[in-house]
Amino acid sequence: MRTEDHPAVNGRGGGARASTGAASASNLADRFTAALAARDAAALRSLFGSEVDFRGLTPGRCWEAGTPDALVNDVILGAWFEPGDVIQQIESVQSGQVGTRTRIGYRLRVQNAGGTFTVEQHAFCDLANGKITWLRVLCSGFVPVTEPDARAAAGRGAPLEGISS
């Protein structure tokens, strides 16, 4: 699936939306989440300025990067979502503004050799000329999906048929 074909990008659905921010925050959240779900490195890199001040926190580590290439290739698609991780579904996308800072959040359903997981991330970013130049991300980690979770999620979100790593 191409990033631009994802329903969240084109306003054709795409999970629960709890958007309280400006349209630009909503658009950024949808584009970021769709590019991530599609594992589209070029689309992800295009969202960032030539330099980015990035810090991230996952359950086991603190992360840093200074360029879009390092952030996308080494962190997001290189370590957080590895080649064996299949993002099956975008369960929700959220966006908003905190003063001049943009807030985005998303919840994903991910499957790999270890099972099926929910991953939720919350990010705050600053933009310059429409590009992300400052980014802080907090990640839930890969939380195993239990049977009641799976039943509750049935019929919710935007399934990503044809998406694989």
**Which CATH number is 41's domain given?**
3.10.450.50
In a domain, 165, yes or no: no
Residue pLDDT, tens place only, 113-127 = 999 999 999 999 999
In a domain, 164, yes or no: no
pLDDT score recorded for residue 144 = 97
In a domain, 105, yes or no: yes
Q: Residue 164 pLDDT more than 50? A: no
Q: Do the domain assignments include residue 103? A: yes
In this prediction, residue 119 carries a pLDDT of: 98
Secondary structure of the chain as H, E, C letters: CCHHHCCCCCCCCCCEEEECCCHHHHHHHHHHHHHHHCCCHHHHHCCEEEEEEEEEEECCEEEEECCHHHHHHHHHHHHHCCCCCEEEEEEEEEEEEECCEEEEEEEEEEEECCEEEEEEEEEEEEEECCEEEEEEEEECCCEECCHHHHHHHCCCCEECCCCCC
Number of domains the chain is built from:
1
Contact call for residues 36 and 119 (beta carbons, < 8 A): no
**What does the block give as tokens for 76?**
């997001």
Asked if the structure places residue 148 within a domain, the reply is yes
- Give me the pLDDT at residue 146, please: 87
Q: 2 or 73: which carries more pLDDT confidence?
A: 73
Domain boundaries, position 117? 3-159
Q: Is the dihedral of CA 81, 146, 14, 162 positive or negative?
A: positive
Residue 17 has pLDDT above 50, yes or no: no
Residue type (1 letter), 120: E
How does residue 162 score in pLDDT terms, banded at 50, 70 and 90?
very low
What does the pLDDT look like over 101-151, one tens digit per residue?
A: 999 999 999 999 999 999 999 999 999 999 999 999 999 999 999 876 555
